[in-house]
Structure 1
């Protein structure tokens, strides 16, 4: 898996140079994420929503369709690498799920497995992403620190995601500017109305 991950990162970097002209940023994107660690592979659905410039909220629902299903919410900080289309990002969040637990018993060298454990954990994430021709590609590493419900307490996962851009960044920026103008206009109109009313009240 490490070989494929390195290949994916190098591909993103090379495409990033091409994406200086043809790439596009995003406001909202959604798609699939393939996660892999020592415990196995998980297929997930991922949604990213930009909250403001450089800040994104990501939600992930993933499962191995057997013993492990988890939900993750992550707040991420994005920074340009070669252009605004090619970014590196990092962040943290929380996760809940139903997972398999494997507890090692050192006295008799056994591993006790239990299933259906309700888990709660803290997530961290770091990755590289490229938005090109309406598609967002990313490679990330997502460590999870379990607080309740699972052994081992630490688990690291490598993820590869492919998302479709649902809302472009320039459209989201345009909507925000329109809302800001409308708000300023309402405030301005309210000020003038109050001023006129105050003059009317002063008349004998």
Structure 2
């Protein structure tokens, strides 16, 4: 419960940003490739606040991740944004897939995520490219920190 309270308090600043615009699009859908591969959808709820959902695969299991992200212009370059945020994930392995996961006695892993990244929105074409690092803290496994999740995402934006 204490960890949940800390997470919720950490997410509050993302909900109160001013109206300075950091994005050049409202919604983006695309592919994520890295330590985990999958699909990503990002949707802005406020000018500098986005929600991102990721459906991914790791060790032949299925992962679902939800994030809330704050965005701001990076290095004073138009269409280049720095983003950071927090969220949660769950990974599932069916019985036939457990042998590929490091936790052969687990059907699922649940935890919290952080994210740091840069994204660029092309002016000429409706494409967004991002590079991020998404460390995770898992609650129900012995090696509860995964710091190896880095990825490149390419999204169609509209």
Query: Shorter-chain TM-score: which interval?
Result: 0.7 to 0.9
Cα offsets for 1:31-72 (capped at 9, x unmatched): 000122xxxxx31100000000110000000014x5322100
Deviation, 1:117, is 2.1
1:75 aligns with 2:65: no
TM-score if structure 1 supplies the norm length? 0.57
Runs of 4+ in 1 over 3 A off after TM superposition: 99-102
Task: Report SS of the residue matched to 1:26.
Answer: coil
Q: Which has the larger radius of gyration?
A: 1
1:53 alignment partner in structure 2 = 47
Task: Measure, in 1, the Cα distance between the counterparts of 2:104 and 2:73.
Answer: 43
- Pairs within 5 Å for 1:61-140: 61-64=55-58, 66-81=59-74, 82-99=76-93, 102=102, 113-114=103-104, 117-132=107-122, 133-140=125-132
Question: In the alignment, is the contact (CA less than 8 A) between 1:75 and 1:91 conserved in 2?
Answer: yes
Tell me, which stretches of 5 or more residues in structure 2 are unaligned? 1-22
Tell me, which stretches of 5 or more residues in structure 1 are unaligned? 1-23, 37-41, 103-112, 168-204
The number of equivalent residue pairs is: 126
1:143 alignment partner in structure 2 = 135
Task: Measure, in 1, the Cα distance between the counterparts of 2:71 and 2:38.
Answer: 22
Task: Report SS of the residue matched to 2:135.
Answer: strand
